[in-house]
Amino acid sequence: MHINDFGFLRVAAASPKLRVADCDFNTAEIKSVLERAAREEVQLICFPELCITAYSCGDLFFQEALQRKAVASLTELAAFMKGKPSLIAIVGLPLRIQSSLFNMAAVISSEGILGFVPKTNIPNDREFYEKRWFAPAADLSDFSVEIGGEDVPISPEGMIFHTPFANFGIEICEDLWMPVPPSSRLALQGADVLFNLSASNELVGKNRYRKSLVLQQSGRCNAAYVYASAGCGESTTDLVFSGACFIAENGTMLAESKRFSLGSELIIADIDIDALRHDRLMNTNYITVATDSTTEIDCEIEPVTPEKMYRIFHPHPFIPSKESAEENLSEVFHIQTHGLAKRLQHTGVERVAIGVSGGLDSTLALLVTIKTFDILGLPRENIAGITMPGFGTTDRTYGNAIALMKASGVTVKEITIVDAVKQHFSDIGHDMNDHSITYENSQARERTQILMDYANKIGGLVVGTGNLSELALGWATYNGDHMSMYSVNTSVPKTLVASLVRWIADTQMEESSRRILHDVLDTPFSPELLPAGTDGKIAQKTEFFVGPYELHDFFLYRMLRYGDHPRRILLMAQQAFTSVYEPEVILKWLKVFYKRFFSQQFKRSCLPDGPKVGSINLSPRGNWRMPSDAVATVWLKELENYSGQQNPEY
């Protein structure tokens, strides 16, 4: 599998064992790490600041012997790289140009030494006295230097290195801590990956702040940020270094090193270049600015075909991690409740009608409504919870619906739809034994009619229960459960509904309601529009017809959040669900997803109002604007003649 064909680039940050001023030892360790990186098919690797000599050489930097040895070691490393056409390395060294010494980053590959990038901001504070030894980039008067008979370019304004798979730029240590880091400008000039060669000492609490800088800069720049810092081999005369290394992508940490390691540290991650470029494309304020002052370097690296990926694709992207669950789920619940609260205040309505089936979606909508009424100081009795048993209603869902409403203190209404639907069948000449779409949709529309009319009767509005996943698949009856007067679940995907209900049950509800909610959570997804089985249990299970919601939510997230093409989504889904679904099963449901997503857009073009809770939303007034007549041909053709084998090459 060529990961570059799918928009990924393998990068690494390294903190090798070092000895202060021992260039031979340091070069040998750098070579050792490069060998490891090459075996792992790394394509771009960053080492710490001044790693060839070590950072903490002090006045030894003025010694011509050390200066000459550093350049000789760089030449040795460049020769070593000749046999590694798929790898580019960035190393640090002191470089004398005329009468000044510069703190340099050198980019080396199988093509030789590609370029030098000087440090822009030179610290001169209580801990670092670099201005004693090094001049800032602005002092450069030459724009190339001869190394081994070759003129190597230098740019005081920075460099953009262009590879076949991504562009990258470089800054050094202190540059990141400035109000406007050079990497911000480099990103606007097209750098997808930003490297930082650093020598950042340890202080209590400093690592947390340093990590936040890396995360924030990667997020602000819509870029990957690869940070490599000096390790324990540096002098400890006054400061201690830990070898902190980070790889962040657009505000998310992909990898970080073990600090205070006595050995060499190497961290690796596969950067999603396509996703970064998609975000820049979607951000209309992100305008690439070309300048004459920035040097642009073309460099070659070969594609790689690793056996595994250094990246985790979370199978449930909408479900927050354990660490952030409390905060994120609370925010979703607050957005839903306050969205409904504003609508009630604006309309002056103090009563609502809501269909309660005993399923997850209506349960969540009911819980949101109850919380909203509590916030507004309205009596829960003003909530008319209406259960409307039909031909497929089971004792379990009916019992849970009644029990939950009674335990919550809302007004309970039971209105059977059986006789009304039979009359309707008679009116339109439909055979009761014909369990076609007419049989199903007539029930959904009858329930919606009851809700709308009852809301009129009590001077209220109808709270909708449908979720984001159903809207994506069109798994809703047009002008049936598709319609309401305010839809609180409209941007909550099915996989998140369960997590949210469980969180509400465990943190917001009394024990009597909690037991009911946990039983609702254990109930299979079903619209219950077909008769129950002979055992009285649900016969019509949604996921049997449309496929697993966890797959569809994954497809939806990748398509809308990152604009991923079908085979890229397929690759990621195979990685995420490798032990859950066979590749051909994932392929089958991905095709179903595209067919339904395109054919059902007309239902999304006229959605009722509802609050946006996350980055994915299908409201025609918000994130997603798509013509109802668009066809899926381009997407489906990409999946034609494909067997679904694991980790395909294209």
Decide: 591 and 575 in contact? Cβ < 8 Å: no
Beta strands 150-153; 144-147: pairing state? antiparallel
Residue 525 confidence (pLDDT): 57
Residue 300 bears catalytic tag: no
Q: Which is the catalytic residue, given 29, 49, 256, 446?
A: 49
**pLDDT at residue 530, rounded to an integer:** 52
Contact between 189 and 157 under an 8 Å Cβ cutoff? The reply is no
Neighbouring C-beta atoms of residue 309, cutoff 10 Å:
18
Residue-level pLDDT at 169: 97
SS (H, E, C) 16-52: CCCCCCCHHHHHHHHHHHHHHHHHCCCCEEECCCCCC
- In this predicted structure, the answer to whether residue 374 has a pLDDT above a threshold of 90 is yes
| Spatial separation of the C-alpha atoms in residues 383 and 405, rounded to whole Å | 10
Backbone angles phi, psi at 605, to 5 degrees: -70, -15
Confidence of residue 526 (pLDDT cuts 50, 70, 90): low
Which residue would you say has higher pLDDT here, 229 or 291?
229
- pLDDT at residue 286 in the model: 84
Upper half-sphere CA count for residue 34 (Cβ side, 13 Å): 25
Range from 66-80, 124-138, 330-344, 564-578 carrying the lowest mean pLDDT: 124-138
Q: Which residue type occupies 465? A: T
Q: Residue 283: how many CB atoms within 10 A of its CB?
A: 10
The pLDDT, as a whole number, for residue 538 is 47
Average pLDDT over residues 273-293: 85
Residue 119 is a catalytic residue: yes
CA distances from 553 to 188, 557, 568 (A): 33, 6, 15
Maximum separation of any 2 CA atoms in the chain, in Å: 101
- Give the number of C-alpha atoms closer than 13 A to the C-alpha of residue 606, restricted to the C-beta side: 11
Q: What is the per-residue pLDDT across 128-177, written as a single tens digit (0 to 9) for each?
A: 788 999 999 989 877 889 898 889 999 888 899 999 999 999 999 999 99
Q: What is the DSSP letter of 204?
A: T
Could you tell me the pLDDT band of residue 648, with boundaries at 50, 70 and 90? very low
Residue 45: name the closest of 74, 76, 13, 82 by CA: 13
- The stretches of 45-141 forming alpha helices (DSSP H) are 64-80
**End-to-end alpha-carbon separation of the chain, Å?**
8
438-466, pLDDT tens digit by residue? 999 999 999 999 999 999 999 999 999 99
Count other Cβ atoms within 10 Å, centred on residue 604.
Answer: 21
Strand order in the sheet with 411-414: 411-414, 383-387, 352-355, 461-464, 486-487
Task: Give the whole-angstrom CA distance, residue 78 versus residue 110.
Answer: 7
Distance CA 267, CA 395 (A): 55
Cα 86 from Cα 82, distance rounded (Å): 10
* Pairing outcome for strands 100-109 and 112-118: antiparallel
Q: What is the mean pLDDT of residues 572-590?
A: 95
Confidence of residue 285 (pLDDT cuts 50, 70, 90): confident
Q: How confident is the model at residue 650 (pLDDT cuts 50, 70, 90)?
A: very low
Of residues 17, 69, 84, 119, which has the active-site annotation? Answer: 119
Q: Tell me what pLDDT residue 126 has.
A: 65
Task: Quote the pLDDT of residue 645.
Answer: 55
pLDDT tier for residue 263 given thresholds of 50, 70 and 90: confident
The residue type of 231 is: G
Residue 107 confidence (pLDDT) above 70: yes
The DSSP line for 208-233 is HHHHHHHHHHHHHTTSEEEEEE--TT
Contacts 24+ apart (CB under 8 A), 207-211: 207/242, 207/244, 207/259, 210/244, 211/244, 211/246, 211/253, 211/256
The amino acid at residue 214 is: V
The proportion of the chain whose per-residue pLDDT surpasses 70, expressed as a percent, equals 95
Q: How far apart are CA 244 and CA 27, in angstroms?
A: 20
pLDDT digits (tens, 9 = 90+) for 188-219: 999 999 999 999 888 999 999 999 999 999 99
Mean pLDDT of the chain, nearest integer: 92
Q: Is 49 a catalytic residue?
A: yes
Rounded-to-integer distance, Cα 369 and Cα 363, Å: 10
For the cut 80, the answer to whether the pLDDT of residue 540 exceeds it is no
Query: Can you give the pLDDT at residue 587?
Result: 96
Catalytic: which of 51, 57, 173, 299? 173
CB atoms within 10 A of CB 632: 16
CA 265, 271, 273 angle in degrees (round to 5)?
Answer: 155
User: Tokens standing for 492?
Assistant: 């909550």
Q: What stretches of 431-507 adopt beta strand conformation (E)?
A: 461-464, 486-487
Per the model's pLDDT, the better-predicted residue between 511 and 468 turns out to be 468
DSSP character for 385?
E
* Domains with residue ranges and CATH for the chain: 3-298 (3.60.110.10), 325-638 (3.40.50.620)
Q: Which of 554, 562, 617 is nearest to 279 (CA)?
A: 562
Give the pLDDT score at 68: 97
- Say yes or no to pLDDT of 479 above 90: yes
Three-state secondary structure call for residue 148: coil
**Res. 287 pLDDT band, cuts 50 70 90:** confident
